[in-house]
Amino acid sequence: MMNHGPRIFSYENSFDGLLCAFAAAEGEGLERCGFQSEGSGRPGLWPPTSVPVHAGTAAQFLERLRRAGGEGTVLHVMYVFLAEIRGAEPPLYEFARLTMQTGKIVLGMRTNAAVRRVMDWKSKVGKEAHRMTGLLRFMELQDGTLYARFEPDHNVLPLVTPHFQRRFPHENWVIHDQRRGLAIAWDGKKLHPVVGVPGNVDDLLSRREISFQRLWQEYVQAMAVPERHNPRLQRRFMPSRYWKHLVEQTV
């Protein structure tokens, strides 16, 4: 008998696409299988089964997951998707399938490898999102818009925007994930995706912003105590990969 190899489901690189792929695998009763996002550049030995995106299928799968494991379980699945970790789909599928099979929350099953990995990934994404709410630096542009840029390890842009909607509800602002080429703007009423953010926003800074940055840098230099300079301690509280977007670190 010919060996057709493991089942691999190819899905559109979106949250709905991933849920549809999980629904297709779960509908066939598969305990373990492979998943591959379209355009991921990960060709395998076995041709994948392409799964079309259907909003209704995704919503039904998510609701079944919510009924079985609660909102916390749904958040774990969403956070791991935003983690953008290569090879995360099989453990995440096993986590979702186990939840629906048992009909209860499985987050306490830390001895299960899939559950443990999903919880660890979710924690990393949550920690980075929380860190970014304190590290993002907004700059005033010439038209009065506030602009912030960052390059997070995970796709935390959807997770940080609600914080700044509450913090700056009456301002016009843009948060730009330069690593992924994604940006979201808030106009004081609703969010909008932004297409074509200028590459060099520094040329669009207001005079007040330029003056403020200069004063802030001078203040940081004046307050610094050379004898207490401790880069290792700095990296513990603020990883160096984030420094390039901090005004005080450009001096």
Residue 243 Cα distances to 69, 164, 235, angstroms: 39, 21, 9
- Does 44 have pLDDT greater than 80? no
For the residues 14-19, what does the mean pLDDT come to? 97
Number of separate helices (H) and strands (E) present in the chain: 7, 8
| Res 4: pLDDT | 57
For the residues 43-48, what does the mean pLDDT come to? 68
Rounded distance between C-alpha atoms, residue 173 and residue 188, angstroms: 9
- Does 228 have pLDDT greater than 80? no
Query: Of all residues in the chain, what percent carry a pLDDT higher than 70?
Result: 93
| Res 3: pLDDT | 45
For the residues 115-120, what does the mean pLDDT come to? 97
- Does 42 have pLDDT greater than 70? no
| Res 14: pLDDT | 95
pTM comes to 0.87
Instruction: Name the average pLDDT for the chain.
Output: 90
Closest CA relative to residue 51, chosen from 41, 30, 37 = 37
Query: Of all residues in the chain, what percent carry a pLDDT higher than 90?
Result: 72
Are the C-beta atoms of residues 197 and 183 closer than 8 Å to each other? Answer: yes
Q: What is the pLDDT of residues 169-180, one digit of tens each?
A: 999 999 999 999
Rounded distance between C-alpha atoms, residue 187 and residue 66, angstroms: 32
- Does 1 have pLDDT greater than 50? no
Sign of the C-alpha dihedral, residues 244, 245, 248, 251?
A: positive
Residue 48 is given by DSSP the state P
- Does 114 have pLDDT greater than 70? yes
Rounded distance between C-alpha atoms, residue 55 and residue 151, angstroms: 30
Q: What is the pLDDT of residues 137-160, one digit of tens each?
A: 999 999 999 999 999 999 999 999
Q: What is the pLDDT of residues 22-36, one digit of tens each?
A: 999 999 999 889 999
For the residues 230-235, what does the mean pLDDT come to? 73
Closest CA relative to residue 220, chosen from 232, 234, 201, 239 = 234
Rounded distance between C-alpha atoms, residue 246 and residue 251, angstroms: 10
Rounded distance between C-alpha atoms, residue 179 and residue 156, angstroms: 11
- Does 210 have pLDDT greater than 70? yes
| Res 236: pLDDT | 72
Residue 26 CB coordination number (10 Å): 18
